[in-house]
């Protein structure tokens, strides 16, 4: 695991400050739809001891933005991101824009989740099937996850990007100390493959203004 070489700064202006968020881990996943060959990159910052919030970066040809999702407070804080390079270090300035309420996640009380172990180790491969009802025979979503050993359970880092829409009726913490290295998902006749491209320790603190802009 490489040392972080990115300097992260938060530029807010002369606000009074309220909530502070700490991040200690970065992941970069690349996802490819096998039907249309379209690929997307997902960069997220997380607190490996508190998965109730995370920061996601989005970069396009026209803009560079970030959103801090706080599921405990049901808020999403939005930022514009300014990228610069000083020497060999990339610097990010996170400029607070506004805050919005998170939409409530629909709890699928009748959904059924089935875990099975395909390979026990080297690597560990598990299957997750999600059924739309307790009696359904055909899964709505099928996922095959290839796991890599880690010093703590980091599967939730993957969940932030790809399992956030589901409820918490299944417990990923029981699987053990792993991080998701690869996955293949089948959903509505589409197949999506995801690969972990980068992961590393970071030291990022973001403090939100006391007076939020809605």
- Residues 25 and 129 both lie in one domain: no
Number of folded domains that form the chain: 2
- Residues 89 and 118 both lie in one domain: no
Tokens 């040809």 -> residue = 61
Full DSSP string of 151-201: SS--HHHHHHHHTTTS-SSS-GGGG-SEEEEEEEEEETTEEEEEEEEEEEE
- Residues 130 and 50 both lie in one domain: no
Please give the pLDDT value at position 21.
96
- Residues 74 and 13 both lie in one domain: yes
Residue 67's domain spans which residues? 6-104+199-209
Please give the pLDDT value at position 200.
92
- Please check whether residue 214 lies inside any domain of the structure: no
- Residues 92 and 134 both lie in one domain: no
- Residues 41 and 147 both lie in one domain: no
Please give the pLDDT value at position 189.
85
Task: State the distance between the two ends of the chain, measured CA to CA, in whole angstroms.
Answer: 39
- Residues 205 and 171 both lie in one domain: no
- Residues 62 and 152 both lie in one domain: no
- Residues 156 and 205 both lie in one domain: no
- What are phi and psi for residue 160, nearest 5 degrees? -55, -35
Please give the pLDDT value at position 22.
96
Instruction: Chunk the chain into consecutive blocks of 10 residues (it has 214) and report each block's average pLDDT, rounded to whole numbers.
Output: 42 58 94 92 93 92 94 95 86 92 76 86 87 91 92 82 52 81 91 94 92 92
- Please check whether residue 34 lies inside any domain of the structure: yes
Please give the pLDDT value at position 156.
83
- Residues 143 and 180 both lie in one domain: yes
Please give the pLDDT value at position 105.
66
Read off the pLDDT of residues 61-106 as tens digits, 9 standing for 90 and up: 889 999 999 989 999 999 999 988 888 888 888 999 999 999 876 6
């Amino acid at each position: 695991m490489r040392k972080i070489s990115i300097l992260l700064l938060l530029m807010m202006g002369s606000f009074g400050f309220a909530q502070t968020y700490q991040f200690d881990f970065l992941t970069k996943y690349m996802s490819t739809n096998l039907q249309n060959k379209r690929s997307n990159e997902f960069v997220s910052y997380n607190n490996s001891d508190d998965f109730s919030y995370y920061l996601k970066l989005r970069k396009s040809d026209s803009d560079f933005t970030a959103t801090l999702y706080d599921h405990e407070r049901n808020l999403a804080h939005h930022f514009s991101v300014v990228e610069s390079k000083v020497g060999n270090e990339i610097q990010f300035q996170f400029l607070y824009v506004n805050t919005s309420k998170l939409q409530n996640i629909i709890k699928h009380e009748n959904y059924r989740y089935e875990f099975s172990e395909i390979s026990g180790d080297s690597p560990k491969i598990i299957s997750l099937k999600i059924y739309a009802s307790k009696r359904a025979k055909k899964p709505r979503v099928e996922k095959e996850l290839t796991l890599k050993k880690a010093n703590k359970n980091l599967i939730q880092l993957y969940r932030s990007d790809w399992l956030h829409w589901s409820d918490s009726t299944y417990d990923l913490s029981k699987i053990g100390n792993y991080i998701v290295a690869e996955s293949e998902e089948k959903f509505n006749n589409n197949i999506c493959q995801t690969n972990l491209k980068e992961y590393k320790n970071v030291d990022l603190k973001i403090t939100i203004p006391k007076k939020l802009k809605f």
